[in-house]
Amino acid sequence: MAKYEYQILHQLASRVEHLTRQLNIEVEEGWEPVSLSGDEHVVVMMRRPKQAPEAGTAPSQEA
């Protein structure tokens, strides 16, 4: 089963041009929009496939 990492973009609807630029940047980095909601505030959930750890490196132990 594929594993993904997620991020949320949040922007005022009045700044939709900025959100559009940000979405284009994120898509170039492999992110895919999967959900969009909002009225005065626009919220976009993005995902991309989780990168496998490189060979020879220990997995991170973040809390």
Q: pLDDT of the chain along its 63 residues, tens only? A: 889 999 999 999 999 899 999 999 999 999 999 999 999 999 999 999 998 777 666 555 554
Provide the pLDDT for residue 62. Answer: 52
Question: For residue 3, how many C-alpha atoms fall within 13 Å in the half-sphere facing its CB?
Answer: 4
Provide the pLDDT for residue 37. Answer: 96
The domain locations on the chain are: 4-49
Provide the pLDDT for residue 23. Answer: 95
Q: How far apart are CA 15 and CA 4, in angstroms?
A: 28
Is pTM beyond 0.85 here? no
